[in-house]
Amino acid sequence: RGKRAFIAGVADDHGYGWAIAKSLAAAGAEILVGTWVPALNIFESSLRRGKFDESRKLPDGSLMEITKVYPLDAVYDDPEDVPEDVKSNKRYLGSSNWTVKEVVESAKQDFGSIDILVHSLANGPEVTKPLLETSRYGYLAAISASSYSYVSLLKHFAPIINPGGASISLTYIASERIIPGYGGGMSSAKAALESDTRVLAFEAGRKHNIRVNTISAGPLRSRAAKAIGFIDMMIDYSSENAPLQKELSAEEVGNAAAFLSSPLASAITGTVLYVDNGLNAMGVGV
Ligand code: NAD
């Protein structure tokens, strides 16, 4: 049978999550997605109204099918963690079972198991502030939404990921090099995510025979990236300075994710794979 993938962090057709879903679908996988609760209504209604049909097109001309959309807020592990103001927020009231534990329970009930887990989500409320001006709250929120969310998703999903399965997250080079403007503790969160990729590769490899890798992606004009405010500059910088002087397409990251989650990558785990036109290898801009 074909593989089944759960992709956390898809709420429109502009981001890496959507492109990864497409590449996995093109390779024959069944697609489940986890969509941030506040973005759920607009995503589902846009899907229903055909707004994404053009970008659902796969190379063979068919349209990507999303078997099920799960509401998800990866900042909460189970219902006891959810504060009253979130519970009673009208954007959350219409949905249920969206904490990590509940989403995994629902997926288990619906499908029994999955083969591929993708984490394509990040959030840092103070991302536009330099680290020196970041509050403790902002820093911890960035780590919670962007790093621990992955630990939690993998921890809860691992028991229902079939042996030989794979897990992938998305990171950014600001974890290891200074990228002014990527603030609010987001650089710290990506450093944690990369370190966790190694430790989780060991633990999930030994315990569940699951591979764990992360893709360090170049700049893409996604919704999240536009919120940071410097994305056009980063795209121009890359086009000027990277070994490959072209704009990076989300599909190139999607294809790398499909490779990493396939048997072609059966000996690859614990790695950070750069999919960035080679920009990471440059020492100076020329
Ligand atoms: P995106 O906006 O498509 O994806 C981010 C998603 O995270 C959104 O769908 C948002 O709804 C979701 N999200 C935020 N908080 C959440 C929560 N608490 N629970 C569940 N979902 C939540 O943007 P993207 O740029 O494609 O981001 C995907 C991943 O790629 C992120 O990890 C990002 O850091 C990484 N990345 C992006 C770039 C870039 O230039 N765009 C570069 C390198 C890495």
CA angle at 191 for the pair 250 and 135, rounded to the nearest 5°: 105
Is 139 a residue of the active site? no
pLDDT at 286: 86
DSSP state of 245: -
Judged against a pLDDT cut of 80, whether residue 132 lies above it is answered with: yes
pLDDT band at 285 (very low <50, low <70, confident <90, very high): confident
Ligand 1 pocket test: which of 222, 226, 234, 239 has the largest number of ligand atoms within 8 Å of its C-beta? 222
Q: Judge if the beta carbon of residue 170 lies within 6 A of ligand 1.
A: yes
With cut-offs at 50, 70 and 90, classify the pLDDT of residue 112.
very high
- Longest Cα pair distance anywhere in the chain, in angstroms? 54
Q: Does the pLDDT of residue 1 top 90, yes or no? A: no
Is 182 part of the annotated catalytic residue set? yes
pLDDT in tens, 51-88: 999 999 999 999 999 999 999 999 999 999 999 999 99
Structure pTM?
Answer: 0.98
186 lines ligand 1 (CB under 6 A): no
Q: In what order do the strands lie in the sheet with 211-217?
A: 66-72, 30-36, 4-8, 114-119, 161-171, 211-217, 272-275
> How much is the mean pLDDT over the chain?
97
pLDDT digits (tens, 9 = 90+) for 8-40: 999 999 999 999 999 999 999 999 999 999 999
Tokens 């080679």 sit at which residue? Answer: 278
Quick check: CB of 279 below 6 Å from ligand 1?
A: no
CB 79 within 8 A of CB 71: no
